[in-house]
Amino acid sequence: MSALWGRVGVGLLCLLLCGCITEYEPKGINEIADILVVDGFITDDETYITLSRSENLTDPDGTFTRIEDAKVYVECDDGTQMIAEHQADGQYLIKTGKLNLERQYRLRIEVDETDCSEDDLPCPAKSYEYRSDFLYPIATSEIDSIFWMKRDRGEPVTIHVATQFSEGFDDSNVLYYLWSFIENWEIKPLLFHWDYPSVCWSEEQSSEILLGSAAKTVSGSTIENITEIEPSNRKLSEMYRITVKQNAISKRAYEYFSNIKKNSQQTGSIFSPIPMELAGNITCTTDPGKPVIGYVEVSTTTQNQRYISNRDNLYEPPYWDCIALPLTEISEYDGFRIPPGYTLYQEAYFSMPALYVKSVCVECNGAMPKPDDWPN
């Protein structure tokens, strides 16, 4: 015991001396580049898995490489095997159908890798197999509601999701949640122009890790703020829709994704630099000592939608100077060409000069056709 306290005393003394304070470096900081990163989870209907190679923690560019030539499977403990279809950008789709809550599922990945340096050429590729743990599906309760809040004019619109156990849902151990969402919105240009559509639609998918916990509540319910929209954002100018997907996850998965999020505060992305301590539930069966990053949960998915209309009066349009003017009256005009950011609005007609307007006034900026289920 006296030896133990002696070591403690030395440690305390060291903390008081500047020379004993060193910068913390996560374990494996120089050795985690180019290892497999698995993003996704097994769910009912369709499962999406994204594969990439990790970046080095000291890499300032934040780059990563997608894996396009892997073989990916979802396996059931009854021997059933579902093969993935490669989509694009390292994403793989597995049509899993309805999950059986009485069976266990796991992910299996086969990928070719090279383990030698540039000096060891030629370097033949070797096939490696990775597997996640067999897990029973966690049944996810329904989303109770999606609602928005706005404190005052000039403040952002915050969107919240509320979850509670459905009637008859008795799995009191399901206290952790993971959300994702897709935004769709309609835009109309401020001025009509024959070269641009009169209405268009855009879509954006969430990329951050969105987590919630009901572990400290009696009812197992939770309300979380999942996104916010600035009042001047044109998403709110006509019609906006958010579709939220919800998955119940285990405590172990919740802790894993919480650590991932803390490690990448700027983006909340699994593809940010990742210390070795964050390894999840996937192992390399070909070489058990080979590192891999990822946690593959097995969970059913529920979803809900919320619309925000311009009738809700949440949009606070910025001042757009959308007045059509001849070039000579445009302050940016240099006498030789159309100023950047302007568009021809009306051709010259007899003694009337050609008129130009700021491009933002006539552009629609839509990136997709009208969704089939979009309200008229």
Asked if pLDDT for residue 274 goes beyond 70, the answer is no
Predicted pLDDT at 114: 75
Asked if pLDDT for residue 277 goes beyond 60, the answer is no
pLDDT tens digits for 161-206?
A: 998 754 444 455 568 999 999 999 999 998 988 888 899 999 999 9
Predicted pLDDT at 260: 84
Tokens representing residue 109 in the block = 């990945």
pLDDT tens digits for 3-12?
A: 333 333 333 3
3-state helix, strand, coil in the chain (%, to 5): 15, 35, 50
Predicted pLDDT at 252: 92
Query: How many CB atoms are closer than 10 A to CB 61?
Result: 7
CA distances from 174 to 99, 139, 190, 216 (A): 17, 8, 48, 12
Predicted pLDDT at 153: 93
Burial of 94 (0-12, 13-18, 19+ CB in 10 A): buried
Give dist(CA 67, CA 158) in Å, integer.
36
pLDDT tens digits for 235-267?
A: 999 999 999 999 999 999 999 999 888 876 644
> Of 107-116, 135-144, 218-227, 321-330, which one has max mean pLDDT?
135-144
Give dist(CA 357, CA 154) in Å, integer.
27
Give dist(CA 137, CA 280) in Å, integer.
17
Q: Mean pLDDT throughout 39-66?
A: 80
Predicted pLDDT at 336: 72
What is the torsion angle, in degrees rounded to the nearest 10, for the CA atoms of residue 360, residue 361, residue 365 and residue 369? Answer: -170
Asked if pLDDT for residue 31 goes beyond 60, the answer is no
Lowest mean pLDDT among 66-70, 102-106, 117-121, 126-130: 117-121
pTM: predicted TM-score of the whole model, two decimal places = 0.80
Q: Mean of the per-residue pLDDT values for the chain?
A: 83
Give dist(CA 40, CA 246) in Å, integer.
13
Predicted pLDDT at 17: 31
